[in-house]
Amino acid sequence: MSTRLANGGRLLNRGKPLEFTFNGKHLRGVEGDTLASALLANDQMLVGRSFKYHRPRGIVASGGEEPNALVGLGENGRFEPNQRVTTTELFDGLTCASQNHWPSLEFDVGAVNAKLSRFLPAGFYYKMFIHPRPFWKHIYEPIIRQSAGLGKAPRDRDQDSYEHFYAFYDVVVIGGGVAGLQAARAAGAAGAKVLLMEQTPHWGGRAPVDGGTVDGQPVDKFVDEIVSELETMANVTLRTRMMGAGVYDHGYMLGYERLNDHRPDAAGPRHRLWRIRAAQIVTATGAIERPLSFAGNDIPGVMLASAVRDYVVNYGVSIGDRTVIVTNNDDAYRTAITLKKQGLEVPVILDARASGGGALADEARALGIRIENGKAIAKVKGGKRVEGVAICLQAGEGAVLEEVKCDAIAMSGGWSPVVHLWSHCGGKLLWDDEKAMFRPDVDNPPTGADGARFVLPAGAADGEMHLPRVLENANAAGRAAAQAAGHASKPGTLPVGETQDEAPITPVWMMPQGAGIKLRMKAWLDYQNDVKVSDVQLAAREGFESVEHAKRYTTLGMATDQGKLSNINGLAILSDTLGQAIPQTGTTTFRPPYTPISLASIAGPARDATFQPLRRTPMHGWHEANGAYFEPVGAWRRPYCFQKAGESITDAVQREVKATRDSLGLLDASTLGKIIVKGPDAGRFLDMLYTNMMSNLKPGRCRYGLMCNENGFLMDDGVVARLDDDTFLCHTTTGGADSIHAHMEEWLQTEWWDWKVYTANVTEQYAQIAVVGPKARKVLEKLTDDDVSADALSFMGWKDITLAGITARAYRISFSGELSYEVAVPASQGRALWDALLAAGKEFGVTPYGTEALHIMRAEKGFIMIGDETDGTVIPQDLGLDWAISKKKEDYLGKRAQERSHMTDPTRWKLVGLQTLDGSTLPDGAYATADGTNANGQRNVQGRVTSSYHSPTLGRGIAMGLVLNGPARMGDVLDFPKVDGTVIKAKIVDPIFYDKDGEKQNV
């Protein structure tokens, strides 16, 4: 059983006990524990069930590579699934629960899958559930979803805050082990601005656990000294609890800082995502130990040898009293020596190498530990816990020579440098045969825009496993990075590391080497996704020869740990099965983030009130206070209508239309785009932009214009006012303000750069209010001494006036068909004018109206709306707007496109009015059917509805639509089927339903 030792635990503060719960069980740990060490100290070996077979699983590792020990952490607004216990710092009051089991961790019904595992090999789902097709969606998938999967998604709103931080450095060093520390020191000494980040709360990495000396003193002493030195350097920033999550193009990288995970009640954000630009990045990310693939290697109590050592040295926790060591390299002997020195038993070290180990083996032997060279584990005895091992020859097929009782197994299959961050942005890898590892190919690094290297590996991440070489390598990397960032330096004094020499590793990908199928089916590669040696071999046999295919077929490396422990072992098995060398198989792609980061940290400030910018007009506050039912229009919120108490939305809209047509309405039109275009070539420029002529517009006058893109399609419309000889004001649609301004600038900057035209987007400078209805002039006259009569300010004219004491510009334009003035005032006085108009209009029953009333009134008049009548495929000619297309102009944007055969095809659908025979309202977007069916067996169509409303003015439904030969078919009746199967019949009519002669607006 695992337990807390009486002594040891360099990271612990034993004087500070902490309480926590696991599956409701109250447990105790101490300050400095990770959740993993605290669980183990309480003999909680079983921590979860596996993904597919629901096998009992325990903690395997001590760091971010942990595949098994995932828990649901916290509760309610702080619940988060799939949290690795090895990277979770213990705090007082922590609550967590294991995952993927039902009804309980100890007794799990899903474990029946394990009994069926022979029938659930790789690709089982693909093969089994393909037929019959409808079964997947309705039967198979829901059941599989229920039984598979890890943690549950949180139900409550996240109660913490998160933020971003932008930072800029010459050199960023990722990893605060001895390599990272030395690299940062070298770069800092050269004068570079350096950021050193370490994902754990502690500096020094695993070197203090592994032993050896630096400059004659213990490694942790060296670590303390170098950290103190770095802290005094003004140009070096040190951050712990910050992981290098990803490396991207141009020296961009993400640092994931976990500020409050270990103190959830502290003030400030929980996570901060650093968005960093670095001239050079040093990856001092260390290495990860590989498991060995023997039968039963997933039983709780089987652990990486380095992790067993970490728990003893760092946390004073032993995994068992009797630990069998199994290895193919010298490093695992360190674990044996550590355990023995702690007074724990090591019954045997199984060294798969026939020739055995070096100096460390001698040391272990001298301590009296039995060492068996050339031996291996045939299988592990036990179910929910290790009970013993059956020993065999590594070279054989697994015939059991001997059984040894033990309660823990420490395994080491060698070390893989953490090359993830090196690889994120294209760094290549080399297979090092001697060390049996992929390490960075420093001649093929990630390169920046200048083609030069911007990432360097350092220390173990560069494949250097020997302390003296680690320090030399890291020092060189730090100096080289600083130099590349413009800070050359002379070589300083290098700390000298000393540690035992090691005998070479012998790669062991399967244990024993000739294991039969029964053993291979119990030899796990990917713990989290339940992929075994036999699955990868099956994939290879079935033709999934590419490592990327084999990965997806077997799901090897596709779990939340992204195969940190399994990838190399898996591709070695694949290579072996295919009979090719490992480098020929290659690796799968390493993608950011290195380990999962919170989604909330990615969102950063984009939540709640700051989820996205919400644009408000100067009158927005009034709208909010007066029953506005808002609709989004771009980033604006515009009132759709203003509801009175007890009034439905439909009723409000109908009331607003009637009140405006009968007397007086007010519309907040501030969102309309307004662009100043000025210069000697402004007229010529607008003649190119609009389909009609603008250059001959007289100052003081307005003209409606259409804008098309180069393909001839209608993209915006609006009223242009000529302010003076040189200056025009172009109104755009609300949504078009920014894009049309950009469109103008693009043409001016790229094609007509020699034309003398300047533009300015003044959309937000003005609040604009449409004063609409028969009483519009009367209300203005109450507020101004200026002459706004029909003669002084005629239809399609504009005039500067003083209105309610405010400098204003009144445009006499109408989108409703009523007498109408659009009045623009400085935005900061918009609310004042709105209030003044409401007060002055009271006697006329002034009625603020929203966008829906605006839409109805324009539709009654047959005015088109960009986005309703247009959809990016409609040209002005389709809409009967030929009158707005100049025949005189030599050119305008879209002209040539509109002359192409398809655009002049007489069968293009054209705009007409549609009047239902029964007075009902057509569904928006409904199609008019025609005889026969098309090649897909669908009904042929001959038109569609583009706008449809109930008109309160006419008391019936009105609609516009695009119809085949429409304008020539006045009076024809079309069928519009509804989704409920019934059909509405509608007659083709003129699109202008109301006041065709314009008598109402022209008074």
Partner 1 sequence: MSEAVSALNGATDEGFVRIAECGLTGMITLRGDLGAAKLKKAVKALCGVEPPARGHVAMADHTAVAWMSPDEFLLMVPYAQADELCAQLDQALAGEHALAVNVSDARAVFRLSGGDAVREVIAKLCPVDMTASAFGPGQFRRTRLAQIPAAIWMPEEGVMQIVCFRSVAQYAFDLLKNAATPGSEVGLFS
- Please pick, from the candidates 676, 930, 964, 973, the single residue that binds partner 1 as defined by CB under 8 A: 676
Among 13, 25, 168, 370, binds partner 1 (CB under 8 A): 168
- Whose CA is closest to 972, among 985, 982, 961, 983? 985
Point out which span in 115-123, 159-167, 201-209, 451-459 binds partner 1 (CB under 8 A): 159-167
The total of other beta-carbon atoms located within 10 Å of residue 883's CB is: 8
Residue nearer to partner 1 on the CB measure, 275 or 384: 275
Rounded distance between C-alpha atoms, residue 872 and residue 866, angstroms = 9
Hey, which residues between 568 and 607 contact partner 1 (CB under 8 A)? 604-606
Backbone angles phi, psi at 498, to 5 degrees: -140, 135
728 binds partner 1 (CB under 8 A): no
Of residues 544 and 834, the one with the C-beta less far from partner 1: 834
Of 441 and 745, CB closest to partner 1: 745
Answer for the pair 315, 34: CB distance below 8 angstroms, yes or no: yes
Residue placing its CB nearer to partner 1 in the complex, 153 or 234: 234
Q: How far is the CB of 891 from partner 1 (least distance, A)?
A: 23
Smallest distance from partner 1 to CB 838, Å: 14
Considering only residues 927-946, where is the footprint of partner 1 by CB under 8 A? Answer: none
Number of residues that bind partner 1 (CB under 8 A): 55
Helices (H), 546-626: 547-554, 567-578, 582-585, 599-603, 620-625
Looking at residues 188 to 207 of the shown chain, list those that interact with partner 1 (rule: CB under 8 A).
Answer: 193
Which of 264, 507, 826, 923 is the binder for partner 1 (CB under 8 A)? 826
CA 309, CA 62: separation in Å to the nearest integer? 9
Cα angle: 894, vertex 900, 906; to 5 degrees: 110
Q: Rule CB under 8 A: choose which of 80, 163, 298, 351 binds partner 1.
A: 163
The binder of partner 1 chosen from 10, 28, 78, 164 (CB under 8 A) = 164
Residue 684 interacts with partner 1 (CB under 8 A): yes or no: no
Residue carrying structure tokens 């169509």? 941
- Count of Cβ atoms closer than 10 Å to residue 925 Cβ: 12
Q: Which is nearer to partner 1, 167 or 558 (CB)?
A: 167
Residues in Cβ contact with 917 at an 8 Å cutoff, skipping those fewer than 6 apart: 973, 985, 986, 987
Q: Buried b vs exposed e over 669-680: b needs ≥16 C-beta within 10 Å? A: bbbbbbbbbbbe
Task: Supply the minimum distance, in Å, between the C-beta of residue 837 and partner 1.
Answer: 12
Cβ distance to partner 1 smaller for residue 610 or 650: 610
CA–CA distance, 55 with 527 (Å, rounded to integer) = 10
CB of residue 674 to partner 1, shortest distance in Å: 10
DSSP 402-444: EEEE-SEEEEE--EEE--HHHHHTT--EEEETTTTEEEE-TTS
Where in 762-821 is the site for partner 1 (CB under 8 A)? 762-766, 804-807
Name 242's bridge partners.
Answer: 257
Smallest gap from residue 203 Cβ to partner 1 (A): 18
Structure tokens, 473: 């390598």
Query: Nearest-CA neighbor of 799 among 824, 818, 782?
Result: 824
If the CB atoms of residues 96 and 836 are measured against partner 1, the closer one turns out to be 836
CA torsion through residues 208, 212, 215, 216, sign: positive
Comparing CB distances to partner 1, the nearer of 805 and 967 is 805
Tokens linked to 398: 């697994």
Closest distance to partner 1 from the beta carbon of 278 (Å): 12
Q: 262 or 615, CB closer to partner 1?
A: 615
Tokens of 688: 């190119």
Candidates 7, 232, 612, 750: give the one binding partner 1 (CB under 8 A): 612
CB of 729 to partner 1, least distance (A): 10
Residues 829-868 contacting partner 1, CB under 8 A: 829, 831-833, 836
The correct pick among 161, 513, 886, 920 for binding partner 1 (CB under 8 A) is 161
Q: Does residue number 613 form part of the binding site for partner 1 (CB under 8 A)?
A: yes
- Give the total residue count for the chain: 1003
d(CA 78, CA 59): 24
Give whole-number Cα distances, 555 to 98, 265, 550, in Å. Answer: 22, 38, 8
Site string for partner 1, 624-653 (x = CB under 8 A): -----------xx-----------------
The token pair at 45 is 């070996």
CA dihedral 864, 867, 868, 870 (to 10 degrees): 70
Specify the residue, 267 or 979, whose C-beta has the smaller distance to partner 1: 267
Q: Toward partner 1, which CB reaches closer, 759 or 915? A: 759
Cβ 252 to partner 1 shortest distance, Å: 10
Buried b (16+ CB within 10 A) or exposed e, 691-708: bbbbbebeebebbbbbbb
- Closest distance to partner 1 from the beta carbon of 132 (Å): 48
> For partner 1, which is the closer residue by CB, 624 or 843?
624
Q: Which span (95-103, 157-165, 440-448, 476-484) binds partner 1, by CB under 8 A?
A: 157-165
Q: Choose, by CB under 8 A, the member of 247, 827, 853, 866 that binds partner 1.
A: 827
- Helix 533-541 and helix 567-578: axis angle, to 10°? 40
Q: Which of 116, 488, 581, 760 binds partner 1 (CB under 8 A)?
A: 760
- The span of 306-314, 675-683, 841-849, 867-875 binding partner 1 (CB under 8 A) equals 675-683
Q: Specify the DSSP element, H or E, that contains 376.
A: strand 375-381
Which of residues 166, 443, 501, 753 is near partner 1 by CB under 8 A? 166
Nearest C-alpha neighbor of 578 from the set 550, 607, 619: 550
Options 21-29, 161-169, 572-580, 584-592: segment touching partner 1 (CB under 8 A) = 161-169
Instruction: Give CA–CA dist 298/411, Å, rounded.
Output: 11
Among 82, 83, 88, 237, binds partner 1 (CB under 8 A): 237
Nearest to 721 by CA among 762, 755, 771: 762
Q: Reduce the DSSP state of residue 934 to 3 states and report it.
A: coil
Least separation in angstroms between CB 676 and partner 1? 6
Residues 252 to 311: which contact partner 1 by CB under 8 A? 266-269, 272, 275, 277
Binder among 102, 126, 135, 758 for partner 1 (CB under 8 A): 758
Q: Which is nearer to partner 1, 780 or 827 (CB)?
A: 827
Window 508-547: contact mask with partner 1 (x via CB under 8 A): ----------------------------------------
Residue 172 touching partner 1 (CB under 8 A): no
Chain residues 6-65 in contact with partner 1, contact rule CB under 8 A = none
Q: Are 227 and 237 in contact (CB under 8 A)?
A: no
Report DSSP state, residue 17: E
Q: Which residues of 260-293 are buried (b: 16+ CB within 10 A; e: fewer)?
A: bbeeeeeeebbbbbbebebbbbbbbbbbbbbbbb
Residue 298 DSSP one-character state = T
Q: Which is nearer to partner 1, 271 or 439 (CB)?
A: 271
Question: With CB under 8 A as the contact rule, which of the stretches 423-431, 558-566, 672-680, 694-702 interacts with partner 1?
Answer: 672-680
State the residues that interact with partner 1 by CB under 8 A.
Answer: 161, 163-168, 193, 237, 266-269, 272, 275, 277, 604-606, 609-610, 612-618, 635-636, 676, 678-680, 756, 758-760, 762-766, 804-807, 826-829, 831-833, 836
